[in-house]
Structure 1
Amino acid sequence: MTRSVYVTGIDRGDGRQVVELGVMELLTRQVDRVGVFRPLVHEGPDRLFELLRARYRLSQDPSAVYGMDYHEAATLQAEQGTDELVSRLVERFLSVAREYEVVLVLGTDYAATQLPDELALNARLANEFGASLIAVVGGRGQTAESVRAEARNAYRAYEALGCNVLAMVANRVAPEERDRIAERLAARLPVPCYVLPDEPALAAPTVAQITHALGGTVLLGDDSGLARDALDFVFGGAMLPNFLPALTPGCMVVTPGDRADLVVGSLAAHSAGTPPIAGVLLTLNERPSQEVLTLAARLAPGTPVISVEGNSFPTAAELFGLEGKLNASTPRKAETALGLFERHVDTADLLDRLAVARSGRVTPMMFEHELLEQARAERRRVVLPEGTEERVLRAADVLIRRDVCDLTLLGDVDLIRKKAADLGVDLSSAQLIDPATSELRQDFAERYATLRAHKGVSVELAHDVVTDVNYFGTLMVAQGLADGMVSGSVHSTAATIRPAFEIIKAGPAGAAGAKAAGAASIVSSVFFMCLADRVLVYGDCAVNPDPDAGQLADIAIQSAATAARFGVEPRIAMLSYSTGTSGSGADVDKVREATKLVRASRPDLLIEGPIQYDAAVDPSVAATKLPGSEVAGRATVLIFPDLNTGNNTYKAVQRSAGAVAVGPVLQGLRKPVNDLSRGALVGDIVNTVAITAIQSQVPSDAQEFSA
């Protein structure tokens, strides 16, 4: 069983941080406590560790991460030999390994280290640490044959030195050669060789990195603008009509500071989305007038305008030498890197080869990782009606970079593009639709009018109704043009789910007669409550104010199915203020009756009720109140008797216990539509979209909506 993984290379410039980040992502899906160890480190901040610490909420003391610096190591090796160097590094590694279930080891970087035979040192350290090894070779600027030869030679070198080589990675290869290289390496190496193409967005410096490197001054722009990647540099010297066609998406415009026409023209083009630019860099320490800067700020709010002292030629020389870096201040690059890793690495196979024992605990991070992985496994399309909302656009950016699902965004297309450009979000792979001008509008109006004819809805009225983004998005789902919908960040719950009730509707079966496939008489909801060491499912906390016994039974069955779908073994607690036979009254009787209905309909489900919350989740209380129960003290699905109790409880646990609440997740609809809290954060939206995509992967016998 793997206790440590050593990621290394054979030379500098291989971009292995992408692989190190990807392996860390895999490990944290399986294990609660992952440690990091870098045997040798340069002076100054360690960008990658700071990224790992921020992204994965590592509590590890930074002083325990490092063995020693390169200068100390080179001196020790020269004076006392390699054995002494290795001995001290092993001692420091073991102090980390004792504290963590698995350790990710970051090998040396071959950058001015003054260490002889660095490859052999990495191999020996991997062996002494008892670590499995993943070796990375860089392919930028190399021919396909050269990459193949380097990968084969690297494998042979590490294997000859006794290393347990788990896999090889050829990184930064020419995209057009990627498939051919992968095919040939698969036939020539005894271990998997994953081939990652060069990704321009990873190599591109951000505007903030450019500003720092050149000692620039920020005249305009916000943090979001400074985080944009500069994918290209366009140098302005021509007159505006000749200059504008030279602009490229994501470019940094470099122009003398006295060219106000190029500044205003570039920002106007950005505002129109033709094309969106990264920002404007002004040379010669010349700055436009305040009037021009005020106009620029109004044209493209948030877009950076930076001033530097040098003239264009030396500035150009510095710019072309800059390369983007993964660090804690570039979270979007991290999403891009992980998306690249997950697209081109068989992560399931690599996890099998790592053979890391999964933790018994399920942490919030592990649950969130699993959501994205499940969604990605069987690709679906999710429609987001609130396409002009900033949080939705930022969530779309994460989903696209991580390659989680296909997206459709609804709203005024020009406004969506403008807001996306201002945020630096690339929506080129997303579908954008304006319901008011869509060719689908008339067809949707006719179908909606037919469906709601019994309510007196005419085609003329329906023609207006379907321009509402929630109705339009729901009709897309009903018609199979999207697999699910997520809304509610700026709309009320009623506005989000009313169209689903009217168009998609609940399943056909009755409450206690609901089938295992998930048919339902009512629509209900659950929250996934991610506690420090487990995930609980709460239902119903968002939809039904006071369900009767049959409806409560239906909610329990649906919640158990939802829990199982997302990897939570369902053990149902039907909550009440009374446990077992200790109390009576209408409220307790309702819960008792609902429990009987579930047992009669689904004898395969583990269920207990009525039961109090403490007896449901605390083994010591359960041993006193319900000894011998298969559910008491171990409940994972907690069904509340009414909305008042459920809604207040989930919020109390969320705020007081620091739980991550994912939801509400609607259940019982023929096709998935999910509601967001209007206070939803970007991460909440990402999780809800992933859940919606996973829900749509379940085969359904529901009929397509038709007139």
Structure 2
Amino acid sequence: MKYTYFISATGAGTGLTSVCLGLVRALEQLGVRVAFSKPIAQQFGPDAEPERSTHLVNATLGLNPAKPIKLSHAQQQLALGQTDRLMEDIISIAQSSGEGADILIVEGLVPVADENYIAELNRNMAKALDADVILVSAKNKDSSAQLNERIKMTASLFGGVNHKSVIGCILNKVGAPEPASQQVIAEEEPDEADRHRTAKSRSIDELEAVLPVFQGDSFKLIGAVAWNPLLVAPRTIDVAEHLGADIINAGQIKERRVQSITVCARTMPNMLHTLKAGTLVVTPGDRDDILMASSMAALNGVPLAGVILTGGIKPEDSVMQLCHSAFATGLPVLTSNLNTFSSAQYLNSMNTEVPADDISRMESVMEAVASSINAKWLAERAEVVGERRLSPPAFRHLVVKSARKAAKRIILPEGNEPRTITAAAICHEKGIAHCVLLGNPDEIHRVAQTQNIVLPPSIEIIDPEKARPKYIEPMVELRKHKGLTAPMAEAQLEDPIVLGTMMLARDEVDGLVSGAVNTTANTVRPALQLVKTRPDSSLVSSVFFMLLPDQAVVYGDCAINPDPNAEQLAEIAIQSGDSAKAFGIEPRIAMISYSTGQSGSGSDVEKVREATRIAKELRPDLLIDGPLQYDAASTPSVAASKAPDSKVAGRATVYVFPDLNTGNTTYKAVQRSANVVSIGPMLQGLRKPVNDLSRGALVEDIVYTIALTAIQADQMTNS
């Protein structure tokens, strides 16, 4: 490792682990080789093995830091006067964790009242590791003046704010409400939520400018992470465990999150407005009317966080039977022996730390932190900017950045599908693309409301019923050589994908994304008929961007062509190489087979050998080699023995499979077995970008596919 940053908290409740992992993510997005170490384990409350920070960094970032020393052992070493020996162990753990990295992030210990030895340990660790010190602080209950003093006092432990190694602070939870209401806000009205958002934005600006500790030149405000209530939203299962509640109906108890709590002591009509996505309903167990109202909301598509029936009272079997269909939607129902008031009070005392097994929440927290930190300045200080690699976070960051720059208009024919609506809202919030939802406006707004999605005014909604007539004649003109008549065109335009594709063909939008509820054939067929292939392409193929632990690579073709011949396989290789290059991946193309080089024979391997020859002849500017077995293409040690003279073997970034059976099986095996994120399929060879989704696509998958489509559209415009 070349450089070490030691991250130390100014007190409890600052979110030290979240900031450390977010900092790792921010540096990875720059292409920096970054590692993480937690030299001394510090367990709190019910925490048990594995140590929380090292577990989360492994689960989210794929890093494998060395096992930390237990805090009790460190205490014992200090008591025996063995500080030097302890520091030797700390250095060994840090060096082992940071091997091969440009920057090592070391997480210190959280200060605990009346335990001054923790401050001593933090100071000794930073000194032993010759690390720059970054503080993490949060206002919590402090005034601005108290926060300023707390930062200065903690900095003084390491030499003060003017010391060359004490470089700055990251402020977390900026704009958070008072601690008593941080966890949940019962029955919060929309204007109250707006006030929280306004206060949050104002606080970031004020803290950056007002705190005296940041007004010198040497001690910097490295980041200000805004408070976001969604990032502290626990899962319903976490609530159940906190209350010691019994589970009547589990439903989606591990997936749903508590964004607000409504305590129902009023009559049913007076609480209906609180039944929104993410609401946890807390009500006495004998209020059957509230349970049935919640069930009706669930049946109408509102994903409530759950219902807690208090006082140890369970509904009659007849009531449960009446609500059975609602339970089948995934609605969690719990019972608590506490009364309603005590249950609500107890919920507000929940720890806001991310549980060790809540990986999706930690991912969201890391992204929020990463976007709020000046990682470029830290990388420049460590003199590693420019030593770029396209790690998975770097690839995702590049995709979002490039899509923003492209500023394209993308149509989503499945406009009333909840995941699609959510993805469109995210794309507008992040500036990824201008999304056009195709569907009935009233239905789209209803779905958005039930899912608690705020649709930005900039999102465009087109009603197919009103838009359809203007595309009948243009479609007849496009397909008259196939005998298409006006009535036939009108019937085909009933399909929103066909209608969206016509808009794309007429240059009214820049790209199309579909497939959340439709098959690949339903998405691709209209594109082939109306958009058609590029002049230099004889076929449409696909690639997946596979985000392996160390780098992003390309797999093609895993979705479209069942058994391409040698000429088609060569074209797929060229298309895939060009796609890789367009997205920042240096193309080194491996033509995959069951044999490497000249060692095998048979029609299948001969096809790959011939495809390699054709591709090299057509595009001598691309690095292409084959046939190569997968291990020879991916693993340097295997490549050294099987293909020692190859410039591709052992370092391939584009893998071209001989047929759909091999490609689709391989991508799914790698994706599921290695827990690898795959983005795609992205279609290649069309005049305009049309991209297909998996019907099991997550919202994040849709967002990235929209981004890919926007980038493709920009490249086609400029080519």
Looking at structure 1, the residues matched to 632 and 326 of structure 2 have their Cα atoms a distance apart, in angstroms, of 61
Question: In terms of mean alpha carbon deviation, does 164-173 or 463-472 score higher?
Answer: 463-472
Q: Deviations over 1:663-705 (max 9, x none)?
A: 4332122333233456778887676555445434536248xxx
Give the structure 2 partner of residue 210 of structure 1: 239
Letter in 2 for 1:179: D
Looking at structure 1, the residues matched to 309 and 631 of structure 2 have their Cα atoms a distance apart, in angstroms, of 64
Q: Deviations over 1:44-94 (max 9, x none)?
A: 32444433333334555xxx533232x5655654x445xx34641541441
Shift of 1:501: 1.9
**Native 8 Å contact 2:615 2:624 kept in 1:** no
Give the structure 1 partner of residue 273 of structure 2: 245
Shift of 1:314: 2.1
Looking at structure 2, the residues matched to 612 and 667 of structure 1 have their Cα atoms a distance apart, in angstroms, of 25
Letter in 2 for 1:164: S
Cα distance change of structure 1 residues 502 and 154 upon mapping to structure 2, 3 Å threshold: farther
Give the structure 1 partner of residue 285 of structure 2: 257
Looking at structure 1, the residues matched to 357 and 639 of structure 2 have their Cα atoms a distance apart, in angstroms, of 47
Looking at structure 1, the residues matched to 167 and 152 of structure 2 have their Cα atoms a distance apart, in angstroms, of 14
Looking at structure 1, the residues matched to 596 and 254 of structure 2 have their Cα atoms a distance apart, in angstroms, of 57
**Native 8 Å contact 1:374 1:694 kept in 2:** no
Cα distance change of structure 1 residues 108 and 476 upon mapping to structure 2, 3 Å threshold: farther
Give the structure 2 partner of residue 373 of structure 1: 397
Letter in 2 for 1:571: R
SS at match of 2:172: strand
SS at match of 2:350: coil
Looking at structure 2, the residues matched to 464 and 261 of structure 1 have their Cα atoms a distance apart, in angstroms, of 46
Give the structure 2 partner of residue 316 of structure 1: 344
**Native 8 Å contact 2:282 2:310 kept in 1:** yes
Give the structure 1 partner of residue 205 of structure 2: 179
Q: Deviations over 1:352-399 (max 9, x none)?
A: 445569999x8xxx7432332122214367655557879879989998
Task: Give the TM-score of the pair, scaled to structure 2.
Answer: 0.77
Cα distance change of structure 1 residues 581 and 252 upon mapping to structure 2, 3 Å threshold: closer
Query: What is the 5 A alignment of 1:379-458?
Result: 379=404, 385=413, 427-429=453-455, 439-444=466-471, 447-458=474-485
Letter in 2 for 1:505: K
Give the structure 2 partner of residue 562 of structure 1: 579
Query: What is the 5 A alignment of 1:256-295?
Result: 256-272=284-300, 276-295=303-322
Cα distance change of structure 1 residues 498 and 179 upon mapping to structure 2, 3 Å threshold: farther
> Alignment partner for residue 70 of structure 2, among 68, 71, 75?
68
1:193 aligns with 2:222: yes
Looking at structure 1, the residues matched to 642 and 626 of structure 2 have their Cα atoms a distance apart, in angstroms, of 12
Cα distance change of structure 1 residues 214 and 533 upon mapping to structure 2, 3 Å threshold: closer
Looking at structure 1, the residues matched to 153 and 507 of structure 2 have their Cα atoms a distance apart, in angstroms, of 50
Give the structure 1 partner of residue 331 of structure 2: 303
SS at match of 1:344: coil
Give the structure 1 partner of residue 38 of structure 2: 37
Give the structure 2 partner of residue 123 of structure 1: 123
Give the structure 1 partner of residue 659 of structure 2: 646
Shift of 1:127: 2.0
Looking at structure 2, the residues matched to 370 and 445 of structure 1 have their Cα atoms a distance apart, in angstroms, of 44
Cα distance change of structure 1 residues 34 and 496 upon mapping to structure 2, 3 Å threshold: same
Letter in 2 for 1:649: T
Give the structure 1 partner of residue 16 of structure 2: 16
**Native 8 Å contact 1:148 1:181 kept in 2:** no
Shift of 1:196: 1.3
Query: What is the 5 A alignment of 1:337-356?
Result: 337-355=365-383
Give the structure 2 partner of residue 700 of structure 1: 717
Give the structure 2 partner of residue 517 of structure 1: none
Cα distance change of structure 1 residues 324 and 293 upon mapping to structure 2, 3 Å threshold: farther
Looking at structure 2, the residues matched to 89 and 469 of structure 1 have their Cα atoms a distance apart, in angstroms, of 65
**Native 8 Å contact 1:382 1:689 kept in 2:** yes
> Alignment partner for residue 57 of structure 2, among 40, 52, 61?
52
Shift of 1:496: 1.8
Looking at structure 1, the residues matched to 172 and 247 of structure 2 have their Cα atoms a distance apart, in angstroms, of 35
Cα distance change of structure 1 residues 172 and 648 upon mapping to structure 2, 3 Å threshold: same
**Native 8 Å contact 1:10 1:154 kept in 2:** yes
**Native 8 Å contact 2:558 2:667 kept in 1:** no
Cα distance change of structure 1 residues 570 and 531 upon mapping to structure 2, 3 Å threshold: same
Looking at structure 1, the residues matched to 413 and 37 of structure 2 have their Cα atoms a distance apart, in angstroms, of 41
Letter in 2 for 1:279: G
Cα distance change of structure 1 residues 629 and 124 upon mapping to structure 2, 3 Å threshold: closer
Give the structure 2 partner of residue 94 of structure 1: 92
Q: Deviations over 1:77-130 (max 9, x none)?
A: 4x445xx34641541441352254255422222244x32274454233212123
| Unaligned ranges ≥5, structure 1 | 511-519, 703-707
Shift of 1:216: 0.9
Q: Deviations over 1:570-616 (max 9, x none)?
A: 2345678896899999996997598467546x443334578888887
Looking at structure 2, the residues matched to 472 and 144 of structure 1 have their Cα atoms a distance apart, in angstroms, of 56
Give the structure 2 partner of residue 470 of structure 1: 497
Looking at structure 1, the residues matched to 432 and 16 of structure 2 have their Cα atoms a distance apart, in angstroms, of 23
Give the structure 2 partner of residue 514 of structure 1: none
Give the structure 1 partner of residue 360 of structure 2: 332
Query: What is the 5 A alignment of 1:494-509?
Result: 494-508=521-535
Looking at structure 2, the residues matched to 384 and 180 of structure 1 have their Cα atoms a distance apart, in angstroms, of 40
**Native 8 Å contact 2:309 2:334 kept in 1:** yes
Q: Deviations over 1:184-239 (max 9, x none)?
A: 577645434211111112333332222212111112232x3444332222221221
Looking at structure 2, the residues matched to 337 and 15 of structure 1 have their Cα atoms a distance apart, in angstroms, of 10
1:138 aligns with 2:149: no
Give the structure 1 partner of residue 181 of structure 2: none
Looking at structure 1, the residues matched to 39 and 118 of structure 2 have their Cα atoms a distance apart, in angstroms, of 14
Shift of 1:10: 0.7
Task: Give the TM-score of the pair, scaled to structure 1.
Answer: 0.78
Give the structure 1 partner of residue 193 of structure 2: none
**Native 8 Å contact 2:441 2:462 kept in 1:** no
> How many residues end up aligned between the 2 structures?
671
Give the structure 1 partner of residue 257 of structure 2: 229
Cα distance change of structure 1 residues 24 and 400 upon mapping to structure 2, 3 Å threshold: farther
Letter in 1 for 2:261: F
Shift of 1:454: 4.1
Shift of 1:326: 0.7
